[in-house]
Structure 1
């Protein structure tokens, strides 16, 4: 099978190593490996004609590496699906580069990232130390793109010709850009902007800024360029949301969806009822929407589940405080209802109380609380007395 070394038969690769001008080179050490480095190595040295014969498994993907003090390849040469064939491997005279990254005031750009790019490959990708300097391993002579980046600084791209031992200095400048967060509650069909949410922006390089959202749900922070930020959005009654965002050198916007902290509420239609009367209880969620199939208990005994409207009706069989509890998933809430017998004192919160007078009774029998029946009886009695006196 192509790309594997499953077949055990061997084939011979005729490898010719040449310099930049196409001239064959002798005395160049070649190391061949396959199966992702698990197979081999098979080591050979080029002869006077620049050739080396290397036996490898047929059909293998073979990687050829050059080991020489004078000549190098930036990347290994790969032979796919090896068969008996002739291959020309070009090498270049080796060189090194020392790249000094500095800030606008000439100070070392500590921990700057320095990369050398050529022919579609990053040949070097390292972080400078406190001195802002990177010295490369031996690389091919030629022109390279040198890219220097550092959090809080604009990216610098420079072309450098590397020969022998080359030293170059690259300057980076500080800069900032706007990072805007738009915070909305996406519970609704049309997401609603959230005002006065707190947006905190932090980075590992030390930036820390906090701003509130405006009426349109947006908050903008000026942040250093070319860095990654942790954005945390908080608001009372809402769940905290965290986002990680990379900011380059252009204004960056992110959308943050938040929702209210999950909770349920249990509400009775009447908090004082007569013993054995029914009370209707309604369970709603954090958006005041009905919660169906919530389990409701009365003093610990289940009385049923809420319907599609989040409602359930239960009796209150005993006098005093009765505790109703609703459970939906891992959310629980309770409420109390006080039951009393007509004419008896009730107890609310441990204190004895007399039921409040209704529209048809008063506490002293005189006043606007007289019933129509009592008033009519008094009128009839007065009329009878008048007739007897005639």
Structure 2
């Protein structure tokens, strides 16, 4: 036998082919294969009594197929764990069906999907062409469920009896439903709705709609039924998120979690200092949370890492603009601190100023307290002026 491994133990199947009334059929060509089609085929034709003897490997799962112009089976007959046994294969007179799908106005439903279902199996599953129609291969006579679908149209399920050369027309209607997106920032323990995010809804069939989210984070779009949509959510300062959504014939919702675009910020507690002063820097993430273990450099030279509070203290040893940089993972940020020497001019907001020390009441006029003398002189002038006004 063709396809049989040498030395493999064989058994004989006695196959009887009968019609729907149980009458044996002669002259029916049978083909047996096994090992998922890798083994065989073993071909035989039924005799006058409707029987054919077929040798197959013992224990194999054998698939029996009918090849006949008048009779047909929608699915092959399977013999599991074959042994020397008799099996009866029921066949039916063959028929064809031409199914045409049309829209509400009678136009062909181009590329509509047409399926014929019977006895637990999809016998036909094909897309129609530009004429909206398909013609089946030979199938068993009988009653079939015919299902017609097309993006943007309601699903139509109808029953069609098939015999001979049957023709049937199935009408489908357009429809739409709401697709709602709920956009939240799930960084927080209680996710927070995102207002004014942009929700774009697109399909491969040409639909394209854009709406903003409301204060509750929701956005609704009316979309054609029975289609798949790409939902893209964008908002400045947030990462873009995409979802693929299947919409049937009921209102559909999709939850979209978005988060702020990862970034770090380096903030000094003072942007203008005297040379050799200490400055405390704080590194925070996109949610203003402290970033620990961020590496900080000064003009390219590392000065240390931030602590658990995201802080680090560094000196500013030279006059002028000093650049500090923080790095955490793939994220980097910079900031500048201006340092000056006492008595030197520095520019703040475009105006030249000369930083000076402020005198205190404990300083004396012997070189450390001229400011105190000036203050006393000012008080004396005010007292004299007041007395002069009283004498008038």
TM-score, structure 2 length as denominator?
0.90
**2:4–2:39 Cα contact (<8 Å) kept:** no
Shift of 1:347: 6.2
Please state how far the C-alpha of 1:384 moved relative to its aligned partner.
22
Aligned equivalent of 2:149: 149
Equivalent residues of 1:147, 1:156 under 8 A apart: yes
Q: Deviations over 1:281-314 (max 9, x none)?
A: 0111111111111111110011111111111111
Q: How has the CA–CA distance of structure 1 residues 383 and 155 changed in structure 2, closer, same or farther, with 3 Å as cutoff?
A: closer
**Equivalent residue, structure 2, for 1:190:** 190
**Matches of 1:359 and 1:19, distance apart in 2:** 120
Please say if residues 365 and 373 of structure 2, whose CA atoms lie closer than 8 Å, have aligned partners that are also in contact.
no
Please name the residue that 1:374 is paired with: 376
Residue 377 of structure 1: how far off its partner (Å): 11
From the superposition, tell whether residues 218 and 4 of structure 1 become closer, same or farther in structure 2 (CA, over 3 Å). farther
Q: Would the aligned equivalents of 1:292 and 1:305 in 2 still touch at CA under 8 Å?
A: yes
Aligned length: 389
Provide the C-alpha distance between the structure 2 equivalents of 1:43 and 1:359, rounded to a whole number of angstroms: 118
- Determine if contact 1:4/1:81 at 8 Å carries over to the other structure: no
Q: Is the 8 A contact 1:27 1:46 kept in 2?
A: yes
For residues 342 and 351 of structure 2, the distance between their equivalents in structure 1, rounded to whole angstroms, comes to 17
SS of alignment partner, residue 94 of structure 1: strand
Q: Deviations over 1:61-87 (max 9, x none)?
A: 111111111111101111111111111
- Structure 1 residues without counterparts, runs of 5 or longer: none
1:14-35: CA deviations, max 9, x gaps?
1111111111111111111111
Quote how far apart the aligned CAs of 1:346 are: 3.5
- What is the CA distance between 1:344 and its match in structure 2? 1.8
1:4: Cα distance to partner?
Answer: 13
Relative to structure 1, the CA distance from residue 389 to residue 86 in structure 2 (aligned partners, 3 Å threshold; closer, same or farther) is closer
CA deviation vs aligned residue, 1:202-252 (integer Å, no higher than 9, x gap): 111111111111100001111100001000011111111000000000000
With over 3 angstroms needed to count, the CA separation of the structure-2 counterparts of 1:370 and 1:108, relative to structure 1, is farther
Following superposition, the deviation at residue 342 of structure 1 comes to: 1.0
Give how far 1:6 is off: 12
Secondary structure of the 2:372 match is coil
Q: Is the 2:3–2:41 contact (alpha carbons within 8 Å) kept by the matching residues of 1?
A: no
Contact 2:34 2:62 in 1 (8 A): yes
Secondary structure at the aligned position of 1:184 is classed as strand
Q: 1 CA distance for matches of 2:234 and 2:47? A: 71
Kept in 2, the 8 Å contact 1:294–1:327? The answer is yes
1:129–1:371 CA distance, 2 compared to 1 (3 A): farther
CA contact (8 A) 1:7 1:57 kept: no
Distance verdict in 2 for CA 1:389–1:66, change over 3 Å = closer
1:8, CA displacement in angstroms?
2.0
**Deviation at residue 56 of structure 1 after TM alignment:** 1.0
Residue 375 and residue 137 in structure 1: after superposition, are their counterparts in 2 closer, same or farther (change >3 A)?
A: farther
Q: Which moved more, 1:5-14 or 1:192-201?
A: 5-14
Q: 1:152 to 1:304 in 2, by over 3 A?
A: same
The separation in 1 between residues aligned to 2:77 and 2:181, in whole angstroms, is 47
**Which string of whole-angstrom CA distances, capped at 9 and with x for unpartnered residues, describes residues 101-144 of structure 1?**
00010000010000000000000000001100000000000000
Q: Is the 8 A contact 1:294 1:310 kept in 2?
A: yes
Change (3 A) 1:231 1:27: same
The 8 Å contact of residues 319 and 346 in structure 1, kept in 2 or not, is answered as no
Q: Which runs of 5+ in 2 are unaligned?
A: none
Contact 2:153/2:175 (8 A) holds in 1: yes
Cα gap change, 1:298 to 1:5, in 2 (>3 Å): farther
8 A Cα contact 1:361 1:371, kept in partner: no
Partner of 1:218: 218
Q: Note closer, same or farther for the CA distance 1:159–1:380 as it changes in structure 2 (3 Å cut).
A: closer
CA deviations on 1:302-328 (whole Å, 9 max, x unpaired) are: 111111111111111111111000011
- The answer (yes or no) to whether the contact 2:18–2:88 under 8 Å persists in 1 is yes
Residue 173 of structure 1 corresponds to: 173
Q: Offset at 1:354?
A: 3.1
RMSD: 5.1
SS at match of 1:288: coil
How far did 1:146 drift? Answer: 0.2
Check the 8 A contact 1:326/1:333 in 2, yes or no.
yes
